[in-house]
Structure 1
């Protein structure tokens, strides 16, 4: 009798350990790849950048189905103007407005989501942007300006005050989501390898994996083409190898 009880307890322990191990492995595998919402951000950013409105409309519908909120998608589209210009951004926003209205007419009520919190106004926007950038890169900015920032100081001001304070500090999206959108545009458009390299490095610093970036490039290949996906893969290889 005692032996049977011990056998049952042992079997139960083995099953418990096995299930725990399987769950841990499943979670690890999931964390190594982009989820549906993240892939939707990639698609929206990429299609907005190239101006493929027909495909963008499809992906905007899909993004809402994954659970992304209206405000989260708006934020992605607004951020696009810093990377591919106001016209593309506005076209994306107008397309999304149509999608939301069409879904309402069908009786589909999508979650609006939270609004952006007020940005800390006790510091200058330049300092807010500088701190945000340092958080993203994991490096403290020291010494005199170099490169484009030294040659044209106002661009450094615009980058800090506008991109990294006005846009990146808005908490509707996380830093990971914003970097995902930025990297997607830079992977989509031609001739931006140096900027892509910077943002891929930032992405790795804030927790993305090489496998997740490979997922991103697969989405780029689907929407833009193999050539751009291969270029982006090459840029990533320079960083991780």
Structure 2
């Protein structure tokens, strides 16, 4: 074989390898990771209050590589959307799971704590900046709707939800939004909020295929009715994006 033919063959092989690699990476990117899938299940079941099923998924989440602190953060985040009772019962269930695993000689990884907040600006301003990032659009102008009707809740949202909670770096924005849409789908009856947060999911880098997969997880872990509702909202978001 001449040098020219060898060079052409080598070039062809390199192109094939590159193409296969790109396709493999693209395919992987279209799926939620095992950890992300565990987050969806844990958040949805905590919000729903299905504690026996939650125990199974807490074990699965730890086995998938989520740290103890990441799971605690998921369950704490749930309270912003489903209330303290659901969140506290979820934490109590997690304590039981960890005790059972420890009794079997399993030492789970604690993981990082939330980093100290070094920004000395007001919580309201920090929360507003985070919300602007999530929405991919700065909020300007006078308050309208519920924010105008009850201004104090708008302050609570900025200072507490988006500063105190979203600012904690134990979970990424992607992970926090997966928690949020999972809880909203599980509790039902809050489709306008689900719609808003599904839009944010796209803004922070989750793909349409990943969100379709999230709907599938809601179907298997929570139920067909809740999944159909979430799918209807998601289809509307994707249609109008």
Structure 2 distance, partners of 1:148, 1:92, is: 30
Structure 1 residue 11: deviation in Å? 2.5
Q: Which residue of 2 aligns with 1:29?
A: 27
SS at match of 2:171: coil
Q: Which residue of 1 aligns with 2:223?
A: 225
In 2, the alpha carbon distance for the partners of 1:80 and 1:61 equals: 18
Say which of 81, 84, 94 aligns to 2:82.
Answer: 84
- Counterpart residue number, 1:161: 159
Residue 119 of structure 1 is aligned with which of 117, 122, 125? 117
Q: CA deviation at 1:121?
A: 4.3
Pick from 42, 64, 67: which aligns with 2:65? 67
Could you give the per-residue CA deviations for residues 125-162 of structure 1, whole angstroms, max 9, x where no partner exists?
A: 11111001001001111011111111001100110111
Q: Distance in 2 between matches of 1:142 and 1:18?
A: 50
1:114-193 to 2 correspondences below 5 Å = 114-193=112-191
Per the TM alignment, residue 206 of structure 1 is displaced from its structure 2 partner at its CA by 1.0
User: Partner residue of 1:54?
Assistant: 52
TM-score (norm 2): 0.96
Query: The residue matched to 2:139 in structure 1 has which SS?
Result: coil
Distance 1:63 1:15 in 2: 40
Residue 161 of structure 2 is aligned to residue 197 of structure 1: no
User: How many Å separate the matches in 2 of 1:119 and 1:149?
Assistant: 27
C-alpha offsets along residues 54-102 of structure 1, whole Å, 9 cap, x if unaligned?
Answer: 1100100110111111111110000011111111101111111111121
**TM-score normalised by the chain length of structure 1:** 0.96
Q: Secondary structure at the match of 1:80?
A: helix
Structure 1: 5+ residue stretches without partners: none
Distance in structure 1 (CA, Å) of the matches to 2:102 and 2:171: 24
Cα distance in 2 between the residues matched to 1:19 and 1:173: 35
User: How far apart in 2 are the matches of 1:228 and 1:214?
Assistant: 13
SS of aligned partner of 1:108: coil
Q: How many matched pairs?
A: 239
Structure 2 unaligned segments of length 5 or more: list them.
Answer: none
After the TM superposition, which of the residue ranges 231-240 and 165-174 deviates more from structure 2?
Answer: 231-240
Instruction: For residue 10 of structure 1, report the CA deviation from its aligned partner.
Output: 2.7
Which is further off, 104-113 or 54-63? 104-113
What is the root-mean-square deviation of aligned Cα atoms in Å?
Answer: 1.1
Distance 2:54 2:234 in 1: 26
Q: Matched residues in 2 for 1:211 and 1:121: separation? A: 36
For residues 55 and 9 of structure 1, the distance between their equivalents in structure 2, rounded to whole angstroms, comes to: 59
How far apart are 1:120 and its partner, in Å?
3.4
